[in-house]
Structure 1
């Protein structure tokens, strides 16, 4: 009997405007569009960079509450300092965003996308 194996995960992030989110992730963070349910007015789309894929799903503004906990993705990367340098001039960071070594033996930086979904990029020390 074959043993089940987990292969990948594609997290789904809530967004208010899929086109704006696609622009942010492709133009600022270097992702490419993997798919979209509608080329002109998508409500669900996927983006890809290297070995990861993230899905973006439209949510009505009436249902939106920034005060609830937002998703936080932790993305394993190589050369986290180089990635930080790639992003630092793209106007995506909070002024206090830095690359730092953590007590849990990682080197990482974190920021929020347009809709307060958290993105942490890290490597193990």
Structure 2
């Protein structure tokens, strides 16, 4: 029996509104945020295809350095279709095919400089 059901990353953002809008452009839906219980937007949960990404406000001084960005990898079934979807929206995509570890991948950075990497196994 599997014990782990899901892992949901919590990504930092110093402009939570911009980060939410970025993930909404990726097709995620804001399903819950701190405005549900407070007048301060400092936490949000976004959902797409059964997966969640959590966003948490961080002061600029507490954000990771731009060259030490947080990363998340999202495994997908059809990398090419997703790449087309995001290219149509004007995302600056960096692609890497036939990696030594057996994947095709592409990614880009969010407004908070979080690296979002989409991965498809070659098997």
Alignment TM-score > 0.5, same fold: yes
2:16 aligned with 1:18: yes
Contact 1:79 1:123 in 2 (8 A): yes
1:32 is matched with 29
Aligned residues: 120
Q: Counterparts of 2:77 and 2:65 in 1: how far apart (Å)?
A: 31
> RMSD of aligned C-alpha atoms?
1.9
Q: Counterparts of 1:65 and 1:44 in 2: how far apart (Å)?
A: 17
Q: Counterparts of 2:69 and 2:96 in 1: how far apart (Å)?
A: 22
1:56 is matched with 55
For residue 62 of structure 1, report the CA deviation from its aligned partner: 2.8
For residue 65 of structure 1, report the CA deviation from its aligned partner: 4.5
Greater share of helix residues, 1 or 2?
A: 2
Q: Counterparts of 1:9 and 1:118 in 2: how far apart (Å)?
A: 17
Q: Counterparts of 2:51 and 2:114 in 1: how far apart (Å)?
A: 16
The gaps in structure 1 that reach 5 residues or longer are none
The gaps in structure 2 that reach 5 residues or longer are none
Q: Counterparts of 1:91 and 1:21 in 2: how far apart (Å)?
A: 16
Indicate which of 92, 95, 100 corresponds to 1:98.
95
